[in-house]
Chains A and B, each alone.
Chain A
């Protein structure tokens, strides 16, 4: 069971990893052109010729990675809050089926595995930007944006898990078997 969950998580983590690395490389190239910053591209990566250029490029490319994570996370959190199988409204369900968009309705397993992966990317990025701020290799606002996003999305996910637990409790109460003994009628 545990290995099945891990395989599912690995499967879910590959696409965001590729997306984030692509965003990093493309944003470095684009911002180098916008700010007219000279760099050398070798086997070791992008090499800048002064510290100020390096900090500028590092900050902007990290910020765009955080923005990409924010888009992915907001999509997952939106699905968790509105289209979650366990607490979607009947009215919305019928509308989605009528519009043939029922694929938007997600199970808890899918939502939480995706949420865990995207949140892990955000936590790792917050951690690495924190270390870079500490060493003075990135602008501090990049770290604070990442930190605020991490707090916000964690709170929303916890709120959704809380909703899930309370709806499960209601379902358990509804499914409880009630046995009535009608002794008076037998006699």
Chain B
């Protein structure tokens, strides 16, 4: 019984080792990563404004100035 158990343990260890070796080349996928470079203006926590946003903001401030006058 003891001999059988030792054999079973040895076989499962060898099988695991074999699978681990075979999985290594496919696992090299993890060797490559990418990190998105931070966009200009976001480093201080500011939101990056699109051209549309800037145009809308300029228009609304112009309207306010005219109303003040």
The answer on A and B forming one complex is yes
Number of A-B contacts (CB under 8 A): 88
Q: Which secondary structure characterizes the binding site on chain B?
A: helix
Contact flags B5-43 to A (C-beta < 8 A → 1, else 0)? 001001100110110011111111111111111000000
Contact A124 B25 (CB under 8 A): yes
B18 touches A53 (CB 8 A): no
A17 to B22, Cβ gap below 8 A?
Answer: yes
Q: How many B residues touch the partner, as a band?
A: 20 to 34
Please provide the chain A residues from 1 to 57 with a CB less than 8 Å away from any CB of chain B in the complex. 2-3, 6-7, 9-10, 13-14, 16-17, 20-21, 24-25, 28, 44-51, 53-54, 57
Interface residues on A, range: 35 or more
CB contact list, A55-74 vs B, under 8 A: 57-58, 61-62, 65
B11 shortest CB reach to chain A, Å: 5
Among A44, A124, A125, A132: residue with most chain B CB under 10 A: A124
- Report B-chain residues with C-beta under 8 Å of the C-beta of A58: 29, 32
Alpha-carbon gap, A44 to B33, bound state (A): 8
Q: Residue A140 at the B interface, CB < 8 A? A: no
Contacts A20-B25, A21-B28, A124-B26: A3 and B7 contacting too (C-beta < 8 A)?
A: yes
CB <8 Å contact, B33 and A54: yes
Which A-chain residue is minimally distant from B21 (CB atoms)? A13
For the complex formed, measure the closest distance between the CB of B33 and the CB atoms of chain A, giving whole angstroms.
5
Q: Decide: B34 and A65 in contact? CB cutoff 8 A.
A: no
Is A163 part of the binding interface, using a Cβ–Cβ cutoff of 8 Å?
no
- The one of A10, A21, A57 in contact with B14, judged by C-beta atoms closer than 8 angstroms, is A10
B37: which A residues are within 8 A, CB to CB?
A: 49-50
| A94 contacts partner chain B, Cβ-Cβ < 8 Å | no
Q: How far is the CB of A43 from chain B (nearest CB, A)?
A: 11
- A117, B26: Cα distance in complex, Å: 13
Cα distance A51–B21 in the bound complex, in angstroms = 29
A45/B33 in contact, CB under 8 A: yes
Per the bound structure, the CA–CA distance linking A47 and B36 in Å amounts to 10
User: Given A6-B15, A10-B17, are A121 and B22 neighbors across the interface (CB < 8 Å)?
Assistant: yes
Chain B interfacial positions (CB closer than 8 Å to A) = 7, 10-11, 14-15, 17-18, 21-37
Q: Give 6 A-B contacts (CB < 8 Å), ordered by A residue.
A: A6-B11, A7-B14, A10-B21, A13-B18, A13-B21, A49-B37
